A and B are shown apart, each in its own frame.
Chain A
Amino acid sequence: MTGPPTSTRPRHYRPPVSAAWWLRKPSYLAFVLRELSSVFVAWTVVVLLLYVRAVSEGDAEYRRLLHLLANPWLVALDLVALAFAVYHSVTWFSLSAQVMVLRLRGKQVPRAAFTLGGYVAWAVASALVAWLLVAG
């Protein structure tokens, strides 16, 4: 289907698409924003590694990192990142529910069960991480 045209495979007509195609409809914009949430997900890994480094370097480095991250611009960035991260999670659970097909005792497990399962797992994982970092 794809590839250069040959004697057996015709060249496909591709109508020109505007560069702002994703602004045309709210659903297109929602899709692009969902995909771009991955930028903020990657940013979280950066923050995580900054902590690993600061924590192993010493008290002064750790305090310096906390001070840096308390900067209003970075707090704003992290709030935006958090919003995008939640958007990723919510869309991810409902999407996974749509692709999972599981039959138990002859009946198909309803999508809502997978979505709910996702949220339960999310709550449990969050509690575990919080416990590990704060108390454990």
Chain B
Amino acid sequence: MRSRSREPLLWLLFSAGGVLAALLVPVLLFLLGLAFPLKWITPSRHHLLAVVSNPLVQIALFIVCLLVLFHAAHRLRHVVADMFGIRQFDGAISVCCYGAALVGSGIAAFLIWSVP
């Protein structure tokens, strides 16, 4: 029996993460990276805390972090292998990339669900 490649499943996760990244990352970078720190818009910490305490927001936030991190890991794994011509080290590269995504997701879960 031929073993089934995991690539289609990985591609699906990559794809989901890519859609979320395409839709959400620009607005998040604009607000969190520019508008809020540079005081163009000044939401109160209280309001942001209320948002991030909402259980639905927490679940959505976790899913976004997980899939987006996975998307980045998958893409980086392939581009690093191709850029430097080190496809023979795909195993080690994969462990580093997906491992980092897993660790990041774990940290995300911890931070999100330790919000008071």
Residues of chain A touching chain B, judged by Cβ–Cβ distance below 8 Å, are 17, 19, 21-22, 32, 35-36, 38-42, 44-45, 47-49, 51-53, 55-56, 58-59, 62, 66-70, 74-75, 78-79, 81-82, 85-86, 88-89, 92-93, 96, 118, 121-122, 125-126, 129-130, 132-134, 136
Contacts and interface: CB of A to CB of B under 8 A. Distances in A.
B95 interface: no
Interface in B65-116: 65, 68-69, 71-73, 75-76, 78-79, 83-85, 104, 107-108, 111-112, 114-116
B72 A78 contact: no
Interface residues of B, number: 51
A5 B36 CA distance: 58
Q: Is the interface of A mostly helix, strand, loop or mixed?
A: helix
A36 B72 CA distance: 9
A78 to B, nearest CB: 3
B23 to A, nearest CB: 4
